[in-house]
Amino acid sequence: MTYKKRLDGRKFDETREIEAKTGVIKKADGSAYFRIGKTAAYAAVYGPREHFPRSQQDPKKGVLRCNYNMMPFSGAGDRVRPGPNRRAKEISMVTKLALNPVVDLSDFPNAVVDVFIELPQTDAGSRCAGISAASMALADAGIKMKDMVSAVAAGIVDNTVVVDLDYPEEAYEDGDVADIPVAMIPSTEEITLLQMDGKISREDLKKALELVKEPLKRIAEIQRTAIKEKYQ
């Protein structure tokens, strides 16, 4: 173990500070804001509503459609060019796959539920923040759900397993880094999103997935509290 103290002083299994709110976008049927450290995500849900193009309708159940987008000024480096790019398209797709197992749209054949995720500011972990926000927004919209989906990255920085890497940790140069975005259904501990960039052994990966379980459950609690708060 060479990475003994995290760059920002957090404990290894500690996430950045989290702020969660629901009902932040009045026009939407459901909405949420989820901020983890300097990464902030808005999610808005519209629908169930009519699904166009018609060729994409499913006569058996409603369809979940997700769109992930970074605002042009949300990256630390160059301006992010607006519009869909390959990265955003891939993240939109894995976001849908992460959320789909918990939502039940069988009451709405041929309809679509749109989830729009917009990021005003990012510092690593944006897809996970987006998924956590989207899950709250879906609940806020009254969509029938089995459970929440909570997401945060696990990872390894120079042989030390950590949770919720920020950008300086992702860019750590004195040792190997792996970033592993994970989304979990807290009640069953099933994984609905799993990606990985970097270098890691099979044993360390197991450790990382074990370490991230508790933080994910804590995030689920924060999400639930935020949903209830709207009604108090």
Partner 1 sequence: MRITKMNKDLKNHVEKALMQNVRIDGRKNDEFRKIKIETGVVATAEGSAKLTCGDTKIIAGVKLGIGTPYPDTPDAGVLMTGAELYPMSNPDFESGPPSSYAIEIARVIDRGIRESKTIDTKNLCIEAGQKVWMVNVDIGPVNSDGNLIDLGALAVMAALKNAKFPELKDGVPDYKHLSKKSLPVSRTPVEITVHKIGKSLVVDLTHEEEKLSDARLTIAVLEDDTLCAMQKGGETPLTMEDIDSMIELAIKKSKELRKLL
* Residues engaged in binding partner 1 (CB under 8 A): 58, 60, 77-78, 86-87, 89-90, 92-94, 97, 100-101, 178, 180, 185, 188-202, 205-206, 209-210
Joined together, the tokens standing for residue 232 give 């108090």
If you count them, how many residues does the chain have? 232
Minimum distance from residue 86 beta carbon to partner 1 (Å): 5
Nearer to partner 1, 129 or 185 (CB): 185
Minimum distance from residue 186 beta carbon to partner 1 (Å): 12
Nearer to partner 1, 8 or 210 (CB): 210
Whether 131 and 220 have beta carbons less than 8 Å apart is answered as no
Minimum distance from residue 161 beta carbon to partner 1 (Å): 14
Nearer to partner 1, 19 or 197 (CB): 197
Nearer to partner 1, 159 or 225 (CB): 159
Q: Which amino acid is at 184?
A: M
How would you list the strands of the sheet with 63-70, edge to edge? 18-22, 30-36, 39-50, 111-121, 63-70
Nearer to partner 1, 92 or 135 (CB): 92
Nearest to 13 by CA among 213, 175, 148, 167: 213
Q: Which amino acid is at 1?
A: M
Rg of the chain (C-alpha set): 18
Minimum distance from residue 185 beta carbon to partner 1 (Å): 6
Max CA-CA distance within the chain? 56
Minimum distance from residue 199 beta carbon to partner 1 (Å): 5
